[in-house]
Chains A and B, each alone.
Chain A
Amino acid sequence: MALLTRLAEGDRPALDFTLDGKPAIGLLGDTLLTAVLTCSEHLRGSDFSAEPRAGFCLMGACQDCWVRLGDGRRVRACSTLLEAGQQVIREPGRQL
């Protein structure tokens, strides 16, 4: 199930990427947050309770949207644009 719903700008080229190793599709111009949350329900697990988080501010302030990329980089999903072939990995978080 998706968290976000697309309302406009649907006629953009599709971009393939992988989410936790499984194939997924986003659109050119999507942020990683949009691409992930239009096909699933969370972005990361909290570092203190492992509860699912899906970002909160979308403006680079809350830092609750970091994901890992295949090349090892960690990026803020709300302010990073999706690129074709990207491997997006959601971190499960930790339980204290």
Chain B
Amino acid sequence: MPSSLLLRCALALLSLAASSPALARDMRAGGKMLLTGGVSSVEGAAGGGLATWSLIAGNETKDGIGAKAHVTYLALPDFDLTTGGVAIGIKDRVELSYARQRFDTRAAGAALGLGRGFTFAQDIYGLKLRVIGDAVYDQDKLLPQISIGVQHKRANRGAVIRAIGGRHTAGTDFYVAATKVLLSRSLVLDATLRVTKANQLGLLGFGGDRRDAYRPQFEGSAGVLLARNLLVGAEFRTRPSNLGFAREQHGADLFAAWSLSKNVAVTAAYADLGDIATVQDQRGLFLSLQGSL
């Protein structure tokens, strides 16, 4: 996890003068420590599984541009959610991300009157800026790494969204994320505050008949590094409940993120998303594969 694991590649130019060889090098590939790029959250930004972290995606340091791609599959009893996306980390300062989520209602679609296998989808465009602090190196300070970000989401099922009481098919989330690696305790901690109107991450639109206002929500992760390439932990995420027809509940998961190499990581989780669109107890397995540079 903090992982990003990974990612460093080759490096480039070597020395001219023996006395100061490094001066001959400038932009270079790779170089971040394992998992310090985080894994990919379901919304495409570097994070845990459910929570977005302040870490910048990819394996690059302030001297390079890194990238990460992911595919995630969450199998719930009555639905599945598939996400794929890419993120670019620029100089360990700015992160641009794109993700597409596809939510398959399978048989429940028929029960909900949408038709069997009806799918909702959305595109998520993210921008994250690291503001202060360094999650990994500032081990002598309590200050975490803090980033601010926006996620603009565009859902594809406007007619259904309006029929169930949703107010908008597009929306923008704003967040501030604080992440700290506590090496002396082998812990990775994150707390993120997000203001959002999104219903089921945005797949069911934004705002609703019960409420159509931005509300602050919390998402957080706590994990322990068991080995250099293995982080296990838990996450929690609150969500607004804007739609009258179905209450939306908090989400939680238990996860393990394992970086197989500098460039490849896998996250497996058991996630509990509560009731979704009146269908109860949606708990299931989450599997994510990530490649990073």
Is the pairing of A and B real? no
State the B residues within 8 Å of A (CB).
Answer: none
